[in-house]
Amino acid sequence: MALKDGAFFEGWSFGAEGEAKGEVVFNTGMTGYQEVLTDPSYQGQMVTMTYPLIGNYGVNLEDNESHRLYPHGFIVKEYCPYPSNWRSRASLDTLLKAHGIVGIQGVDTRALTRHLRDHGAQEGIISTEDFDRESLAKKIREIPSLVGRDMVREITCHNPFLWDSTKKNGTLRVVVYDCGVKYNILRSLSGLGLEVLVVPAQTPADEVLAKDPHGILVSNGPGDPEGVPYMIKNIKKLLGKRPIFGICLGHQLLALALGLKTYKLKFGHHGSNHPVMDLSTRKVEITTQNHCFAVEGWEGWRDTHHGPVEVTHINLNDRSVEGLRLKDLPVFGIQYHPEASPGPHDAGYLFERFLGMVKAQ
């Protein structure tokens, strides 16, 4: 494996053979590798797991967050080829091979993580075919940056669909913009008794309003929010028309629609143990996160064309913005993943908050 700045690591292949390219990031979760691999927000990236032993509990159908795998490559210290878990249906190696994902094990992931922490996330390549450093460096220089790139168009659904047919014609209906939505977001909404209609990210706001939803959720997704101008345009048209809830990329898109700014983090937030404070209650939540961009920080209130906006949550590691809300409209966004339950269910109340807004409206 080679990085853009010249760092070079050797290991053993597992999963598919070939070459994988993408931005290399690290994830600090001790478990959840299947959820990581099926999270659409990892489109265009290669993931390093900081926990040293990966694959020991195998994989199953129930823990998938989407219908396929999204990271281009997977980097671990030690792969366990003999999983032991009553829920396991296959090995991680089998899953990676079935989806054509190149993996490498035997890498000093502590050294790699420290390198990415100090020098930042960057493009890299994993190869089972080419071991020439100059050749690999040339290929890395050809990898497109995530900045300004529309990654959502690559993964959004092609046609609208109803998530749970048993909730059809429910008393309360929400539309979910699929920017790379995770299944558990849809499960969480459906579990509250909501009818959930998922639509492609390119769906015009007028078409969404024509479906007469009681609320709108803008989902998580990969890449740079500034690379998705059509979603920013849609949100601007929907502000004030329906309650809106933005998650992760949806939170960033909401901020841009309000006239705020976003920026790229040095190495991003990826993992299931990030402390976030709810500024209204001063309570600290242990959260799951997966993003490379963030909303520009400030304290207190900030005026926009759509009314005053308040920072509601902050990251206690780096003080970055983790939540915002509009004072005069039922609109809020959260940078982390309230649907993820890596053990703590600290953030589940946010779906109840959205439900309360929908009922009130």
Q: Which residues participate in catalysis according to the annotation?
A: 248, 337, 339
Which helix H or strand E contains 141, and what residues bound it?
helix 133-141
Q: Which residues contact 275 (CB under 8 A, 6 or more apart)?
A: 284, 285, 286, 287, 315, 316, 317
Q: Are 175 and 199 in contact (CB under 8 A)?
A: yes
Indicate the helix (H) or strand (E) that contains 231.
helix 229-238
Torsion of CA 88, 156, 228, 24, to 10 degrees: 30
DSSP state of 165: G
SS (H, E, C) 75-123: ECCEECCCCCCCCCCECHHHHHHHHCCEEEECCCHHHHHHHHHHHCCEE
First to last CA, the chain: 53
Whether the CB-CB separation of 248 and 221 falls below 8 Å is answered with: yes
In angstroms and rounded to an integer, the radius of gyration of the C-alpha atoms of the chain is 20
The DSSP-derived string for 25-39 is EEE--SS-HHHHHT-
Query: Residues 329, 235: contact at Cβ < 8 Å?
Result: no
